[in-house]
Structure 1
């Protein structure tokens, strides 16, 4: 439905319910969940895209066999992550067609009080935080902001002009941070408020059993984006064959080492007797003969002889004189 003109204009009538609507600026479409026409026992929750003409593209089931849309009551998109509230839990679904975790629940956190009571929330374009309106208490409604990554509450502001005891099933926020909230019914009427410090009622209409909001869509819409083709079921690759190491050639047998034959002492062959040389007989010794001296004929030799004779004569004379003296 289009409420931009102040009234309600029907754009298209779907044959099944779509819940947890959010707007993806990346895909240029509304994003929601539906289980109509799908088997409840096998991935019944499908993610769908909706354009301003009401044309629906089914992206496929959420890749979590246990996930159901029965208790889903709020949704919003931040980037390419689709956040949905399932009772007290917040699931993060990857809707990036190029991501390996496409359509998988990549994170689940538990919400703080009173975020877990929100029937709708919207993403703040300035910081990516989620904001909704809670009327679970006895007093007036509260504007609640929380962190989608951790589920922790960041702020809660009570607004006197927001009726309590009423479900706010449609909440959007603009670039200036102004919140627009519509309750399902209060005193028999459904009312829309602008909240910026205080709350101002903008319009009213018939009381509604279930409503949802998904932000302000651009005009005109971006070109249509075809969802990727369903991924075929590819059987897992067979385990790699065990690698057999190449057979090793047998090692050559070692060459036996033959020890040398033992050395045996042997007696050399006997030689024929050699003749013993005969020694020559000794000759009989003869007396030594004095060789005749050659007569000296030099004058010096003669003088020496006379000197020797003189000495002998002197000695003989001396000996004779001594003998006479003793007699």
Structure 2
């Protein structure tokens, strides 16, 4: 039935000597994030929520296997400790078990509290200061060791009676003030009015600080002291989330449904974001695009008339056989000792004359031979 808070804004500022984990941004209201359990019915298991304050934004994280209460947050461990009953309508035979919740809401059963004069069966209030978890159960204030390195881990170190237990106060929850280290909560008085109260950790004495007439009559759980030292509380039976100052002034933050009990713990430690990797030097990647051509584009010509669909398709010419010029290559020169073939005279027409010319030349040659032979005989 109590709350605590973890800082949400990123910029850190000193807040009334608040310990590390409380944060506020410049020009903005201080805030923190808490884990809250809501127990709707008398024997139901707990519904787990993450709540951002003071915006009162709630995010459901699911249902737990237990009915939990008396939550306290250990900032050094980053864990929320709570007392758990086995639900629904069941209890562990060895008393309430300690269940640790990580910031993601995963639950880990750590077993019962040890070395107690009596079993802790249904603790309602809880808060952690350092390695001491203060738990209110049955009119007694217990100090439980939550130092994992200690031989007395999860053992009761002291038990103090809360005074006056049957007096005007009915205390459902409390939280530790980060400045004076005392416990504070909201309780109903014999006048039927809620009041801000303080519980001395050493003596268990309860004293009223101020009436809070702006609160409706109800039991108040999920008590968390924020970075501004105000109490953020939930009205269990009538519903509603409120901010209560030490002077008793009240501000309603949000509507929440009525429930049989509730508790919360924070402010959850915020994990800083990882540092960005150093910038890499720019690398020049060779372009795979072909260089732009500076040749002007050809002037479009008129379209040729379309060919008939029956015309043969020309075969593709391989690039290696493409001609390099439209002019014919000159003939190679003749080799030494050879003769070039005769070149026909341009425009000569030999058709029909070759046979006659050959006969005339043969007859002329024969007459020359005969005449030459006769002349030789005469000379002899």
TM-score tier after normalising by the smaller chain length: 0.5 to 0.7
Hey, what's the Cα distance between the residues in 1 that align with 2:264 and 2:61? 14
TM, length-normalised to structure 1: 0.61
Relative contact order, CA 8 A, sep 6+: which one is greater?
2
- Counterpart check, 1:25 vs 2:78: no
Q: Once the 2 structures are TM-superposed, how far is the Cα of residue 66 of structure 1 from its aligned partner?
A: 5.5
Preserved CA contact (<8 Å) 1:185 1:191: no
Distance 1:221 1:14, change over 3 A: farther
Hey, what's the Cα distance between the residues in 1 that align with 2:271 and 2:257? 29
Preserved CA contact (<8 Å) 1:122 1:215: no
Q: Once the 2 structures are TM-superposed, how far is the Cα of residue 155 of structure 1 from its aligned partner?
A: 4.3
Hey, what's the Cα distance between the residues in 2 that align with 1:39 and 1:59? 15
1:179 corresponding residue in structure 2: 231
Pick one of 182, 191, 200 that aligns with 2:240.
191
Where 2:262 maps in the other structure, the secondary structure is coil
Q: Once the 2 structures are TM-superposed, how far is the Cα of residue 154 of structure 1 from its aligned partner?
A: 4.8
What per-residue deviation string (whole Å, max 9, x for no partner) do you get for residues 205-261 of structure 1? 211122111132122399xxxxxxxxxxxxxxxxxxxxxxxxxxxxxxxxxxxxxxx
Pick one of 114, 135, 141 that aligns with 2:194.
141
Hey, what's the Cα distance between the residues in 1 that align with 2:251 and 2:190? 21
What per-residue deviation string (whole Å, max 9, x for no partner) do you get for residues 5-30 of structure 1? 53431113211112211111121111
Distance 1:137 1:39, change over 3 A: closer
Q: Once the 2 structures are TM-superposed, how far is the Cα of residue 138 of structure 1 from its aligned partner?
A: 2.9
What per-residue deviation string (whole Å, max 9, x for no partner) do you get for residues 161-216 of structure 1? 1222x110111001331111111133xxx111111231111111211122111132
For structure 1, the 5+ residue unaligned runs are 223-327
Preserved CA contact (<8 Å) 1:134 1:143: yes
- Counterpart check, 1:168 vs 2:220: yes
Preserved CA contact (<8 Å) 1:30 1:214: yes
Hey, what's the Cα distance between the residues in 2 that align with 1:154 and 1:18? 27
Q: Once the 2 structures are TM-superposed, how far is the Cα of residue 136 of structure 1 from its aligned partner?
A: 4.1
Where 2:72 maps in the other structure, the secondary structure is strand
What per-residue deviation string (whole Å, max 9, x for no partner) do you get for residues 127-152 of structure 1? 21111100243332101111112212
TM, length-normalised to structure 2: 0.53
Hey, what's the Cα distance between the residues in 2 that align with 1:206 and 1:69? 28
- Counterpart check, 1:98 vs 2:152: no
More deviation, 140-149/50-59: 50-59
Q: Once the 2 structures are TM-superposed, how far is the Cα of residue 58 of structure 1 from its aligned partner?
A: 2.5
What RMSD in Å do the two structures reach over aligned CA positions? 2.5
Preserved CA contact (<8 Å) 1:63 1:104: yes
Pick one of 126, 133, 136 that aligns with 2:179.
126
Pick one of 97, 102, 115 that aligns with 1:51.
102
What per-residue deviation string (whole Å, max 9, x for no partner) do you get for residues 50-109 of structure 1? 012111223332113654343311111111111111121111111112222222111001
More deviation, 80-89/67-76: 67-76
- Counterpart check, 1:2 vs 2:50: yes
Distance 1:214 1:115, change over 3 A: farther
Distance 1:210 1:99, change over 3 A: same
Hey, what's the Cα distance between the residues in 2 that align with 1:57 and 1:200? 36
Distance 1:161 1:104, change over 3 A: same
1:219-298 equivalence runs, <5 A:
219-220=270-271
Distance 1:148 1:218, change over 3 A: same
Preserved CA contact (<8 Å) 1:45 1:67: no
Where 2:185 maps in the other structure, the secondary structure is strand
Hey, what's the Cα distance between the residues in 2 that align with 1:123 and 1:210? 20
For structure 2, the 5+ residue unaligned runs are 1-48, 274-380
Preserved CA contact (<8 Å) 2:142 2:158: yes
Pick one of 24, 48, 61 that aligns with 1:11.
61
Give the length in aligned residue pairs.
217
Select the structure of larger CA radius of gyration: 1
Hey, what's the Cα distance between the residues in 2 that align with 1:205 and 1:40? 30
